[in-house]
Structure 1
């Protein structure tokens, strides 16, 4: 086929569409970056579950203990127990102190945890 036929136009239009989608992603990341800020741990309470803390909890039904780190979007890693502060479990733990009981509503009922320990990861 000669240059400029329909198949080449289709490739061109597909490339332009891809470029538009990539530019939208770049713009979204630039916006996210412009709103980002560094959290100074020295200004955070050390006795309360907040963003960035590592919390050891005891399941009051099974007696098992688990450790979670509360993180922001893009940092979650469920295989390593890094959960979003906006997740149901994260929301249920936020603001709690050592010894508090967190009751978290989930689709299968309620989870009940005792806050055993709160720390900041090193």
Structure 2
């Protein structure tokens, strides 16, 4: 297949995910800087902090929001460093649509490799960090991915591949 769109082809998926994460970070930042301080101030006004459940709940929420913000900022930083030019054009990678055939038979299966926190997971979407995602990553058409599951091991032959560059 001819390459269409060059290194910029994968950008929309990455940009959409960055927008989603940035929006969540902005909402949490507002909660951390405006909403929670007001809740804490109101709870403090109720008096005895040792038995003040509203105060404890607000502090717990504040800790959670700070941790989530840290995670979001780390993900945004990592996404900013993704270079679509580094994603292989002839092997399974981020954004690839892969059709596999189980060597034991059955209908072909189609998977789309996504980030773990993709905007919307749909039927056939798999995280690159999932068992199937890790098994398929780096495979080319004709190669076999070995998927080790708790009850069995599957051998999936890559029969068709559309990379992020070809979409």
TM-score normalised to the size of structure 1?
A: 0.80
Decide whether aligned partners of structure 1 residues 31 and 103 sit closer, same or farther in structure 2, where only a CA change above 3 A counts: closer
- Aligned residue pairs, count: 119
- Report 1:1-122 matches (<5 A): 3-4=46-47, 9-37=52-80, 38-40=82-84, 42-75=85-118, 77=121, 79-120=122-163, 122=167
SS at structure 2 position matched to 1:36: helix
| Superposed CA RMSD | 2.5
Q: d(CA) in 2 for partners of 1:16 and 1:111?
A: 48
1:62 deviates by 2.5
The runs of 5 or more residues in structure 2 that have no matched partner are 1-45
**Greater shift in the superposed pair: 91-100 or 7-16:** 7-16
**1:27-59 Cα shifts (integer Å, max 9, x gaps):** 22112212222432x553322112221101111
TM-score normalised to the size of structure 2?
A: 0.61
Highest RCO, 1 vs 2 (Cα 8 Å, sep ≥ 6):
2
Runs of 4+ in 1 over 3 A off after TM superposition: 5-8
